[in-house]
Amino acid sequence: MRRLVLGHSTETTLIAGMVLLCVGLSFGTDRFLTVANAFDVLNISAVNIIFAVGLLVVLISGGIDISFAVAASVAQYLTVLALGALGGGNWAEGFLIAGVVGTGLGLINAFLIYRLQIISIVATISTFNIFFGLLMFFTKGVSIYNLPDWLSNRVVFYEQEMADGSWVELTLPVVVMILCCVATSFMISRTTTGRKLYAFGDNPEGARRFGINIGAMHYISFGWLGLMAGIAGLMQAHYAQEVVPNALYGRELDVLAATVLGGARLGGGKGSVLGCVLGVLLVSITQNGLNLMGVSPFAFKMIVGAIILAAITLSSARLDKLLPEALKSSSRKGSQRS
């Protein structure tokens, strides 16, 4: 119960922060507070949110993954190559191949972590290097620009012209993102597996003595992240209309920062889909607002970085004071797990 309240306090703070930010930005620029802009922000952040909900599952189960963005690159590259070999393909085949490849790569991580007992950050840094090195070696860094038409054409589910002439568009990445969020949310909070993941992340040894299958937890969490990474990779290829092997390189740390901003805890047992979505959106809204206010794009990352730094340090400092003594020690234990 206490965790529930604390968990929701993160989300309430985030929403409050976001409302403040939005109010400030809507006074600062006249184009910010429009429906069209809201949909723009959603379209831009769709891929990152798909990554983030996948990463959330791994964080909840007490692990960490550095390799997922590169795994997504591998998945999108292999998918496009496979589709070419199949002679075109369609959306169903695309999702299937990307999902299978992504899940497979995630399962490799789970195998290393569970079977060979390598700590998750060490294992995934290694697989990060292996995936990226092999991808760049075999592709020689060559990008693919001639995607099948169905993949590169924009899919718009709903569009409407607003009074001021701007377009509201609900595109495929957003729909897929919503599906991924709903599926993840259902998995972690409405199924036994999800509750087991929380229990396992909070206290692995306790969970093991409870009779929870530790191996299955590893394979499920990393497999899920792999699946999400595969889907996100496909969506990114669709959104960018090209496949560039190193396009997603470095994305993992941005997504990790946003996910943790949304209340997931390194060390496991805490986090929600809502918080995670809010974390990514907060970063996107900041960038979007800065853009509309005419701030130099070179300053974006600096400001976003400063905001994340402030948010993370402030929230940890505040929580540390608020937490009762019993929880304090457990949060420290969690913070020593890397």
What's the closest the beta carbon of residue 94 comes to other proteins, in angstroms? 26
Q: Does 254 bind other proteins (CB under 8 A)?
A: yes
71 bridge partner residues: none
CA 200, CA 52: separation in Å to the nearest integer?
20
Q: Report the residue number, 151 or 266, with the smaller CB distance to other proteins.
A: 266
- Residue by residue, DSSP assigns 206-272 as HHHHHT--HHHHHHHHHHHHHHHHHHHHHHHHHHHTSB-TTTTTTHHHHHHHHHHHTT--TTSS---
CA 69, CA 230: separation in Å to the nearest integer?
9
Q: Report the residue number, 123 or 181, with the smaller CB distance to other proteins.
A: 123
φ, ψ for residue 249, nearest 5 deg: -60, 130
Which residue of 59, 257, 277, 290 would you call a contact of other proteins, by CB under 8 A?
257
φ, ψ for residue 159, nearest 5 deg: -140, 150
Q: Report the residue number, 47 or 304, with the smaller CB distance to other proteins.
A: 304
x/- letters, 95..114, toward other proteins (CB under 8 A): -----------------x--
Q: Angle 192-202/35-60 helices, nearest 10 degrees?
A: 70
- Does residue 158 sit in helix, strand or coil? strand
Unique residue bearing structure tokens 């497979």: 104
Q: Is residue 177 within 8 Å of 50, Cβ to Cβ?
A: yes
Q: Which residues, at least 6 apart from 268, have a Cβ–Cβ distance to it below 8 Å?
A: 59, 60, 61, 62, 63, 200, 201, 202, 204, 334, 337
Q: Does 60 bind other proteins (CB under 8 A)?
A: no
Q: Report the residue number, 31 or 328, with the smaller CB distance to other proteins.
A: 328
CA dihedral of 194, 97, 274, 323, whole degrees rounded to 10: 50
Which residue of 123, 231, 274, 281 would you call a contact of other proteins, by CB under 8 A?
123
Which residue of 39, 77, 114, 128 would you call a contact of other proteins, by CB under 8 A?
128
Which residue of 119, 144, 216, 327 would you call a contact of other proteins, by CB under 8 A?
119
Q: Report the residue number, 102 or 267, with the smaller CB distance to other proteins.
A: 267
CA 180, CA 50: separation in Å to the nearest integer?
6
CA 118, CA 28: separation in Å to the nearest integer?
50
What's the closest the beta carbon of residue 330 comes to other proteins, in angstroms? 12
How far are the Cα atoms of 7, 18, 139, 175 from residue 323, in angstroms, in the given order?
12, 24, 50, 38
CA 297, CA 66: separation in Å to the nearest integer?
27
What's the closest the beta carbon of residue 163 comes to other proteins, in angstroms? 37
Q: Does 70 bind other proteins (CB under 8 A)?
A: no
Q: Report the residue number, 120 or 171, with the smaller CB distance to other proteins.
A: 120
x/- letters, 314..333, toward other proteins (CB under 8 A): xxxx--x--------x--x-
x/- letters, 129..168, toward other proteins (CB under 8 A): xx-xxxxxx-------------------------------
x/- letters, 262..291, toward other proteins (CB under 8 A): ----xx------------------------
Q: Which of the residues 286 through 315 are near other proteins (CB under 8 A)?
A: 296, 298-306, 308-309, 312-315
Give residues in contact with other proteins (CB under 8 A): 64, 66, 112, 116-119, 121-123, 125-130, 132-137, 250, 253-254, 256-257, 260, 266-267, 296, 298-306, 308-309, 312-317, 320, 329, 332, 335-338
